[in-house]
């Protein structure tokens, strides 16, 4: 396949919301789009044919986990990520920055030192090796190594993480070798609007192909998240893609699209599915509830996924209560189809100039049903 530069082009605007086309070496992604998360080279419980069937356009994989098992060299020998996973579409890899947040490694100016979550061995990751590993994996879009700070955090902590991420970003750009692949910068700054604006402005000046907005979904309120986006987005180039990392709940996606975001990823749809939590246009619910024991209704009468076409709520409840793996697979497919359909609806509404009304309708419909305990992300 001939090398194609990664680029984004707007097709329609509706207020700050925008519809566009993200061109990559492995195809074009219609945005706004959601990326199912295949941390270890697989989206749990489903295969890549399933993903194509429910409308997934682009997948996300994790650098930290894949560099440990099976190793980047092994993936490269097996056709890079696309051949390894048998996925012909675009792939984005995150850099391992989230593991800095979740695994608490030792951080220095040089990089980070982890203890492997598999065997306890010492693992070092630097801005340069993070890029090299992602290029070896062959993802269409790589992310810089960044520092993600959980909340609550002091302004000094947020500032230090932002500054280190900026220094590492410069090193990552110097290390980039593959011209047929993209490298995205990451905006940090926590919920502080001034830091967010500064981080976005300085990251944009480095000239990345696109921009992730990180450090969200770590304990901030929706108002804080929206404030961070409102501060950062005006400082980013209008002609490049914007990606909020780790955001997957319906209302949050709608809020972010309304502020000009194009890409999303999150484990939420698949993680909830494995616990029997169903995403649905009229409100999310647990399939394990006793009221579904004899229900002949589908999960959602308007959904075209295999779970909704073929199986009743009663049957799906039975699968979960008997711990049959088919239940996890079917609800995973449903939740991913729900999310893909949500993004398609958003894109259509932007083209039609009706995004605000569509957003209000979706939010009102979901709010009309009692919110179930345990269905939050």
Active site residues: 94, 265
Report residue 349 as tokens. Answer: 């509404």
Residue 135: closest CA among 100, 165, 173, 167: 173
Say how many Å lie between the first and final Cα of the chain, rounded. 39
Query: Two tokens at 347?
Result: 């894109």
d(CA 316, CA 293): 9
Long-range contacts of 338-341 (CB under 8 A, 24+ apart): 338/269, 338/279, 338/280, 338/281, 338/300, 338/303, 338/305, 339/34, 339/36, 339/248, 339/269, 339/279, 340/34, 340/54, 340/55, 340/56, 341/55, 341/303
| Closest to 187 (Cα-Cα) out of 209, 173, 169 | 169
Q: Do 82 and 138 touch, CB atoms closer than 8 A?
A: yes
Question: Backbone dihedral region of 298: left (phi > 0), alpha (psi from -120 to 50 degrees) or beta?
Answer: beta
């Amino acid at each position: 396949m001939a090398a194609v530069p990664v680029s984004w082009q707007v097709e329609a605007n509706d207020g700050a919301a925008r519809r566009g086309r993200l061109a990559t070496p492995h195809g074009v992604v219609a945005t706004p789009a959601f990326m199912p998360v295949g941390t270890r080279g697989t989206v749990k419980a489903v295969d890549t044919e399933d993903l194509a069937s429910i409308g997934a356009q682009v997948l996300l994989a994790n650098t930290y986990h894949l560099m440990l098992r099976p190793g980047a060299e092994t993936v490269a020998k097996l056709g890079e990520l696309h051949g390894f996973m048998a996925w012909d579409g675009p792939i984005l890899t995150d850099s391992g920055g989230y593991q800095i947040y979740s695994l608490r490694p030792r951080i220095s100016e040089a990089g980070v030192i982890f203890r492997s979550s598999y065997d306890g061995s010492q693992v070092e990751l630097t801005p340069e090796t993070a890029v090299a590993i992602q290029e070896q994996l062959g993802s269409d879009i790589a992310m810089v190594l960044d520092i993600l700070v959980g909340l609550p955090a002091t302004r000094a902590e947020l500032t230090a993480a932002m500054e280190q991420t900026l220094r590492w970003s410069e090193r990552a750009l110097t290390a980039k070798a593959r011209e047929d692949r993209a490298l995205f910068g990451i905006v940090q700054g926590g919920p502080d609007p001034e830091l967010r604006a500064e981080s976005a402005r300085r990251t944009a000046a480095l000239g990345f192909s696109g921009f992730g907005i990180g450090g969200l979904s770590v304990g901030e309120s929706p108002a804080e998240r929206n404030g961070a986006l409102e501060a950062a987005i005006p400082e980013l180039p209008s002609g490049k893609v914007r990606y909020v990392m780790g955001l997957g709940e319906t209302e949050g996606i709608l809020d972010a699209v309304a502020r000009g975001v194009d890409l999303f990823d999150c484990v939420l749809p698949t993680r909830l599915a494995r616990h029997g939590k169903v995403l649905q246009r009229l409100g999310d619910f647990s399939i394990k509830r006793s009221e579904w024991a004899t229900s002949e209704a589908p999960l959602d009468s308007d959904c075209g996924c295999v779970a909704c076409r073929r199986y009743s709520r009663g049957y799906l409840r039975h699968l979960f209560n008997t711990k049959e793996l088919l239940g996890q697979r079917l609800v995973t497919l449903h939740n991913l189809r729900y999310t893909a359909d949500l993004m398609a609806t958003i894109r259509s509404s932007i083209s039609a100039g009706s995004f605000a009304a569509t957003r209000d309708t979706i939010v009102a419909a979901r709010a009309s049903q009692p919110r179930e305990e345990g269905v939050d992300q």
